[in-house]
Amino acid sequence: MTTEHGDHRDPQRSLKLLWGDRARPPRGRPPTLTLEAIVAAAVETADELARTEGLEALTMRSIATRLGVGTMSLYRYVPGKGELLDLMLDHVIGEYEPAEEEHGPSGWRDVLAGDAHRQWRMCMEHPWYPFVDQSRPILGPNSLHGLDRVLGLLRPIGVPDRTLMMMIGTQSDYVDGVARSCINERRAVERTGLSGEDFWAAQAPTLEKAVLSGRFPAMAAADENTFDWSYEQIFEFGLNRLHDGFASFLGERSG
């Protein structure tokens, strides 16, 4: 479930903040805060809260508490939580952009796989990220730079840019989806203190009885290791199958 921040922020204000209109308070003593410090504190606070409570628990007050200032001080720099989330997104995206020397020539699968693994790490290390509603994204410098990089590296495939953007978007949605499931599982462990193994072990007697009743023959005949996988393994498996599908599509286009 994603937070509805997209409907509760002013896109124009977000764009001005992202693209350099970061004016300080006009008068008074030299400010003790900066917008950069607020964004960094917001990311740190969200990282902590997202491991157990979720992004909904992030408030301007919780960020102000981390900074040791009054909540109203933050509004002198950023209009509200919605615009702050746009800044946070662009900030963390910038953390995972590869250095220029890592941009060497690669096949399209390597380009997409590298981007997917960077996005996966970002989701795991900033577990609020895949829960932000980005149906109407506000592109900041880091976001646009990353998109420009990937698009440029994929252009030699020789298909229209529209097709490339759909490939990038499909992969991004896939990564976010698996990441959300993985993070939700981790949150459940944190909240309950009950591991996934213990959770399923508690259900085992009832499920075993149901499966052996004859009503579910396919399940009764399943291999013992049928459900022995991790979300990391699902991520890799699905990513490879997604790329196999792209390869089939691209092969048909060139054939």
Q: Which residue has the tokens 């052996």?
A: 212
pLDDT value, residue 32: 76
pLDDT computed for residue 190 by the predictor: 85
pLDDT at 169 over 60: yes
- The confidence score (pLDDT) of residue 2 equals 46
The mean predicted confidence, pLDDT, of the chain is 88
> Which range among 7-11, 74-78, 104-108, 189-193 shows the weakest confidence by mean pLDDT?
7-11
Residue 247 placed within a domain: no
pLDDT at 214 over 80: yes
User: Which of the 8 DSSP states describes residue 24?
Assistant: P
52 found inside a domain = yes
- In a domain, residue 226? The reply is no
Tokens of 162: 């529209």
Please list, residue by residue across 117-144, b when 16 or more beta carbons sit within 10 angstroms of its beta carbon and e when fewer do.
ebbbebbbebbbbbbbbbeeebbbebbe
Q: Is residue 155 part of a domain?
A: yes
Say if residue 223 is exposed, middle or buried (CB neighbours under 10 Å; 0-12, 13-18, 19+). Answer: exposed
Residue 6: which of 131, 91, 116 has the closest Cα?
131
Q: Is residue 198 part of a domain?
A: no
Q: What is the number of domains present in the chain?
A: 1
In which domain, by residue range, is 21 found? 5-178
DSSP state of 250: H
Q: Identify the CATH number of the domain in which residue 115 sits.
A: 1.10.357.10
The answer, yes or no, to whether residue 4 has pLDDT greater than 60, is no
Q: If you average pLDDT over each of 23-37, 125-139, 168-182, 205-219, which comes out highest?
A: 168-182
Q: Within a domain: residue 131?
A: yes
Residue 127 included in any domain: yes
pTM across the whole model: 0.86
Confirm whether 241 is domain-assigned: no
